[in-house]
């Protein structure tokens, strides 16, 4: 099913952030890492919202990038007055994430203004929307995991949720990614130094095999040690900073805006070899609901 109808490809020069050229190596790992690139953003109307979204095309990650049930990872901007119209999915679940600023999130027809970095998971069979009432774009991710590999559905409500009443306290689940919530962990998974970590969303949140979202901050010089998961695939999204990833015997550089897919049983580790904090959001998707495993590898 085609998810979008694109209208224009006119973001260049419209305030798009020009990111440095991708740090591509010659190894296969470097080729698997997807880079946020605003020059590839396209304007479109999402789920009947009359305002604009600007999303990288093709998606940062698509279903074929993982063997588990990730359907897509989209990297976008919510343009002023734009958003994603109110809609349902009945065989996939989704989470809108804003990387800063403030947006109006709707779940099941109730709306609250939420400051980023934050998200709101929407499980299967419930409705969701997001709206940007401000005068500047909001940096945005959309994560979608399906119940059946590669299968998508949507039921649109033709409602932009603009100008609706706001609940001061959200009456739906949210994912907060404030650094202050992180807890120190020494020698994380056999790595070096002390990282700061928090499981932001647990398996109980989701109906599909989407199993968790972790928030991990590696200070300069710190690392997440070598480990693997037999039954879980992960996507590491770089929220801030630079560093390097090793998968099996290959190593390559990563930077803000990169998405790193880690497939089943791949030995992987992340290291901050930069001077600023390396901040990661980790999306975990299992082959079997409730079955999670982690094995440290020396
Ligand atoms: Fe959706």
| Each residue's pLDDT tens digit, 165-202 | 999 999 999 999 999 999 999 999 999 999 999 999 99
Tokens of 54: 């600007």
Q: Ligand 1: distance of its center to the CA of 45 in Å?
A: 13
Q: Which residue has the tokens 């994380």?
A: 188
Q: Which strand (E) or helix (H) includes residue 30?
A: helix 28-32
Same domain, 118 and 188: no
Neighbouring residues of 116: CB distance < 8 A, sequence distance ≥ 6: 97, 98, 99, 100, 101, 102, 103, 138, 139, 177
Q: Ligand 1: distance of its center to the CA of 79 in Å?
A: 17
Q: Ligand 1: distance of its center to the CA of 186 in Å?
A: 38
State how far the alpha carbon of 41 is from the alpha carbons of 8, 24, 79, 100, in Å: 10, 20, 12, 19
208-221 pLDDT, tens digit per residue, is 999 999 999 999 99
Distance (Å, rounded) from C-alpha 60 to C-alpha 74?
6
Q: Pick the last residue of a domain from 144, 175, 206.
A: 175
Task: Report pLDDT for 3.
Answer: 62
Do the domain assignments include residue 30? no
Q: Ligand 1: distance of its center to the CA of 147 in Å?
A: 14
19-38 pLDDT, tens digit per residue, is 333 344 458 999 999 999 99
Q: Pick the last residue of a domain from 175, 193, 228.
A: 175
> pTM of the prediction?
0.92
37-77 pLDDT, tens digit per residue, is 999 999 999 999 999 999 999 999 999 999 999 999 999 99
Q: Ligand 1: distance of its center to the CA of 107 in Å?
A: 11
Do the domain assignments include residue 132? yes
**Would you tell me how many other CB atoms lie within 10 Å of the CB of residue 276?**
13
Same domain, 158 and 222: no
Q: Ligand 1: distance of its center to the CA of 297 in Å?
A: 37
Task: Report pLDDT for 27.
Answer: 80
Q: Where are the beta strands (DSSP E) in 26-157?
A: 34-35, 41-44, 53-56, 61-62, 70-78, 83-88, 92-98, 102-107, 110-115, 118-122, 127-131, 138-146, 155-156
Task: Report pLDDT for 2.
Answer: 47
Q: Pick the last residue of a domain from 175, 209, 224.
A: 175
Q: Output the CA angle 94-4-215, nearest 5 degrees.
A: 30
In the structure, ligand 1 is a single-atom ion and the residues with CB under 5 Å from it are: 94
Is the pLDDT at 15 greater than 80? The verdict is no
Q: Ligand 1: distance of its center to the CA of 154 in Å?
A: 7
Q: Ligand 1: distance of its center to the CA of 189 in Å?
A: 34
Mean pLDDT, rounded, of the chain: 93
Q: In a 3-state reduction of DSSP, which class is residue 31?
A: helix
């Amino acid at each position: 099913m085609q998810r979008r109808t694109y209208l224009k490809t006119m973001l260049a020069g419209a305030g798009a952030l020009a990111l440095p050229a991708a740090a591509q190596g010659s190894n296969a790992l470097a080729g698997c890492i997807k880079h946020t690139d605003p020059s590839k953003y396209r304007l479109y109307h999402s789920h009947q919202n009359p305002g604009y979204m600007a999303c990288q095309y093709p998606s940062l990650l698509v279903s074929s990038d993982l063997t588990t049930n990730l359907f897509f990872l989209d990297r976008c901007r919510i343009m002023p007055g734009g958003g994603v119209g109110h809609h349902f999915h009945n065989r996939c679940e989704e989470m809108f994430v804003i990387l800063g600023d403030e947006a109006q999130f709707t779940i099941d027809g109730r709306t609250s203004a939420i400051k980023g970095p934050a998200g709101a998971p929407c499980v299967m069979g419930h409705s969701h929307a997001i709206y940007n009432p401000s005068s500047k774009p909001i940096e945005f991710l959309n994560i979608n995991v399906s119940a059946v590999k590669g299968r998508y559905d949507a039921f649109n409500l033709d409602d932009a949720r603009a100008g609706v009443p706001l609940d001061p306290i959200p009456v739906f689940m949210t994912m907060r990614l404030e650094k202050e919530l992180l807890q120190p962990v020494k020698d994380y998974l056999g790595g070096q130094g002390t990282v700061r970590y928090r499981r932001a969303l647990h398996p109980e949140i989701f109906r599909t095999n989407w199993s968790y979202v972790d928030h991990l901050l590696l200070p300069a010089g710190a690392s997440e040690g070598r480990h693997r998961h037999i039954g879980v695939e992960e996507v590491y999204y770089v929220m801030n900073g630079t560093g390097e990833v090793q998968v099996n015997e290959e190593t390559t550089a990563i930077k803000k805006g990169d998405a790193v897919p880690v497939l089943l049983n791949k030995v992987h580790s992340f290291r901050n070899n930069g001077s600023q904090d390396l901040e990661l959001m980790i999306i975990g998707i299992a082959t079997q609901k409730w079955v999670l495993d982690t094995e440290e590898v020396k």
